[in-house]
Every structure is written in structure tokens, then in C-alpha cells.
Structure 1
Amino acid sequence: MKLLLDECIDRKLAREFVGCEVKTVPQMGWAGIKNGQLLTLAEAEFDVFITVDRNLSFQQNLPLFNIAVIVLQAPSNRLADLNPLVPEVLAILASAAKGQVTTVSA
């Protein structure tokens, strides 16, 4: 499973997704790219896009994209707040549907 972490997520979170191939938006050279274009680039190389952007599903027509989106909802985007969400994310990865958004909250 190939995961892409949005640029506003601490790259250290990638270590928590054991068994997955994880890259960050900056590692891919895509920092600063707007969401629509970012999703287009991501769908060609990744299975799941993980973000903390709660507005993504309102701003983009996600069924048009061939990538699953997981939105993390925590008190902040600090590593300490996002880490507790990882077990639930790992549990839903296999059932995350392309073109749909799944929200994981604390």
C-alpha cells in the first residue's frame, strides 16, 4: 500500500505506517501545489492520500480521483496529536475506497 502524507503532516508520522510505502508531499517535490493538481499527481502513484485538511472534500470532487483520501481530525497537526490516530488508519486502509473520503478523529 502506497501512502502520501500531506505537507502539513509531520514527516515523522510516516514511521508509524509499518508495512506501507510512505512518502510526503515535500519528498515528492510537490510542496505548494494546489489540492486539485496534487490529487491528480498523487492518484498516478499512490493508493491513499492522508491529510488534515477538513475542507478537501468540499473543495474537490473526490469521486473524480482514483485515490482514497483519509482526513485526520485531531486537536492539532502536531505529531503527539496525530500518533493516536494511526492504529485506526491502519485498520481502515484495506477498505479505503478510491474516490471517497474517510475521516479518522480522536
Structure 2
Amino acid sequence: MRILLDECVPRPLKRELADCEICTVVEMGWSGKKNGELLQLMSQESFTILLTADQNLRYQQNLQQAGVAIVVLIARSNRLPDLVPLIPDVRSVLNTITPGEVIEVGGSR
């Protein structure tokens, strides 16, 4: 499983998942890419999961066709202190999520 950390998520969150194969959009040189292009690049580079705070992504893209899974972080803000408490739930989702699936972690939704 290869995880891509979206631009809207603080890069230091990567440290919380250091035991996973995880890269950031910036590290991949994909800064500023639109979601559709980003999903295409992910597929080409064998990424299987996008970790994002973008709650609208599922409504804007055909995720089944993209062949990647999306974990959406729902928190008060996308600042690190608000996202770190979600990591235990993210870890359990990573073990069960399948391509094309979107799972929201956190929030009261």
C-alpha cells in the first residue's frame, strides 16, 4: 500500500504514519495539480490511497475509475493538532479500505 498525502494536509502529519510507505504531493513534484490529474498520476505511480482533508473530492471525481481509495480527514481545521488525534482511526481504515472507496475519519458526520 502506497499512501499519498494531499496538499491540503500538513506535511508533518507524515511522521505520524512513518511506518507506512507515504509520500507528499510536494515530494512527488505534483504541487498545484487538479484532483483529476492528481488521481491519474497516483494510479500511474502505484499509489493506492489518498489521505486528504478535501471533503468534496468524492463529488468531483469518478473514484471507481481512478482505482484509488480516499481517506478524508474530518476535523475542526486541517492544522496538525486537530489531525493527529485521528491517526489511530486512520490506521484501522488503512487495513480495510478498497480501491474506489471513500472513508471519512473523524468529525460528527
CA RMSD of superposed structures (Å): 1.0
Q: TM-score, normalised by structure 1?
A: 0.95
Q: State, as a whole percentage, how many aligned pairs show the same letter.
A: 48
Aligned with 2:76: secondary structure? coil
Partner of 1:30 in structure 2? 30
State the alpha-carbon separation in 2 of the partners of residues 36 and 51 from structure 1.
Answer: 14
State the alpha-carbon separation in 2 of the partners of residues 60 and 46 from structure 1.
Answer: 17
Q: How does 1:1-106 map to 2 (within 5 A)?
A: 1-44=1-44, 45-106=46-107
Q: TM-score, normalised by structure 2?
A: 0.93
Aligned with 1:19: secondary structure? coil
| Structure 1 gap ranges (5+) | none
Aligned with 2:22: secondary structure? strand
Q: How many residues get paired?
A: 106
State the alpha-carbon separation in 2 of the partners of residues 5 and 73 from structure 1.
Answer: 15
| Structure 2 gap ranges (5+) | none
State the alpha-carbon separation in 1 of the partners of residues 77 and 2 from structure 2.
Answer: 24
**One-letter amino acid of the counterpart of residue 80, structure 1:** P
CA drift of 1:18 comes to: 3.5
